Structure 1
Amino acid sequence: MSRRTLAITALTLALIGSLYLVNSPSSSGFNMSASGSQGVPGLEFKLSQKSKNPPSVLVTLKNNNPSSTFTILKWNTPLDSHAGNLGVFKFKDAETGEELKTDVLMLRRKMPIEQDQLQEIAPGAEYSTEVTFSQPWMPREPAKFKVRAEGTYAAAWDKVIGEVEKSELDAYTASPYNDRTFSSEETLLVVE
């Protein structure tokens, strides 16, 4: 390789590295805690075991925000009717820490967004739903897993469901909380 080629390569790498550092989140401003400073302010997911056979969890979304009502699009959250197949839940063997390999489906979503795909949650309120893990990848023999939910919101608005305009639903990726993260604490899931 010639000196000129080496110089151009080094300059290109330095430029790419500089662009990455300028455009990446700073370590002081990036936090993926359970309450999620990058998430929707005050919204928190909690998981608890509901059933052992078939294994299921009760997913509870709580709004700890003292003054804001939120409307979220359920897509790709633990509230999604397809959540068990979307990779929203992460499983680790409770004894070995080995991650359970799960199959993830890619869905084509029906537009326009229908009202049953939205969830309103008022300050201090909770909404719960049960998610059953009956997929072929879930072990049928007795086992114990640590399970958590994590991902990103497709859309959320700080308003009641009736105030979300059709134009906002059509352009849901422009919502104020699009791509904000959510994460729950781990809970024990026993399979019998």
Structure 2
Amino acid sequence: MKSFPSEPHNIPIPIPIPIPIPIPIPIPIQITISDIIPLDGEASSAASIRLKVTLRNTSDKSVSFLRWSTPFDQRAAPMGIFKFKSVSTGKLAPCLDLKLGRKIPREGVFADDDIVSIEARGEESKTVEIKAPEVVLTRGEKYVVHAEGFWMHVFVGEREEARKTDANVLRADFESDGVEVEV
């Protein structure tokens, strides 16, 4: 049996390089649904309601956000931002669940009416009408409604900076507390 002389080997030992893991910064916007009012309509038709959505800025600085796919989107109801879960069956009310493909502006700046700003510790409210065929609610049924989605573009600071598509923005899921309503 042959033996080989033992020679030192220069094998580099990999040293782990710490990779910074970004700590998610919470979005400083609280969503509240209130003042739910059933709307009169034909007894044979699907129920319609009106609800108030309030966004409260919990930050000491102003906050601006892109309204797309939020409770303040003009198409929030047909997009399924508002979820209505039947208290008796546990099933969600039928919704169009519209998917919209929106393009980022070539100029690199969002339109002024696409950005909503809320002053430090302030709030903004909007009334939303929920009706068929966007969301089909059954008359006499009790539902728990909540808002659910994704903040795509939230900026803490000056509004003009928030309009820029390349601004250093926050992104995160959102979900409001549920509120019971009988239609």
Specify the TM-score bucket, using the shorter chain as the normaliser. Answer: 0.7 to 0.9
1:122 to 119, 123, 126: 119
Distance 2:29 2:153 in 1: 13
Instruction: Quote the RMSD (CA, aligned, Å).
Output: 2.3
Structure 1 match to 2:16: none
CA contact (8 A) 2:79 2:98 kept: yes
1:62 aligns with 2:61: no
Change (3 A) 1:56 1:175: farther
- Superposed CA offset, 1:48-93 (max 9, x none): 133201312100000122x221110011010111100112111111
Structure 1 match to 2:180: 188
| 3-state DSSP of counterpart to 2:84 | strand
Change (3 A) 1:50 1:99: closer
CA contact (8 A) 1:63 1:123 kept: yes
| CA apart distance, 1:190 | 2.4
1:92 to 76, 81, 85: 85
CA contact (8 A) 1:59 1:130 kept: yes
Change (3 A) 1:68 1:108: same
Change (3 A) 1:74 1:55: same
| More helix as a share of residues | 1
| 3-state DSSP of counterpart to 2:64 | strand
1:154 aligns with 2:148: no
| 3-state DSSP of counterpart to 1:100 | coil
When normalised by structure 2's length, the TM-score is: 0.72
Distance 2:25 2:35 in 1: 27
Structure 2 match to 1:50: 36
Structure 2 match to 1:76: 69
Distance 1:190 1:38 in 2: 36
- Superposed CA offset, 1:9-31 (max 9, x none): xxxxxxxxxxxxxxxx9xxx9xx
| More strand as a share of residues | 2
Q: 1:150 is matched by which residue type in structure 2?
A: E
Q: Work out the number of aligned pairs and report it.
A: 149
1:134 aligns with 2:131: yes
2:161 to 134, 145, 163: 163
| CA apart distance, 1:101 | 2.8
| CA apart distance, 1:175 | 3.9
Structure 2 match to 1:11: none
- Superposed CA offset, 1:105-141 (max 9, x none): 1223255331111111112101000111113241352
CA contact (8 A) 2:94 2:136 kept: no
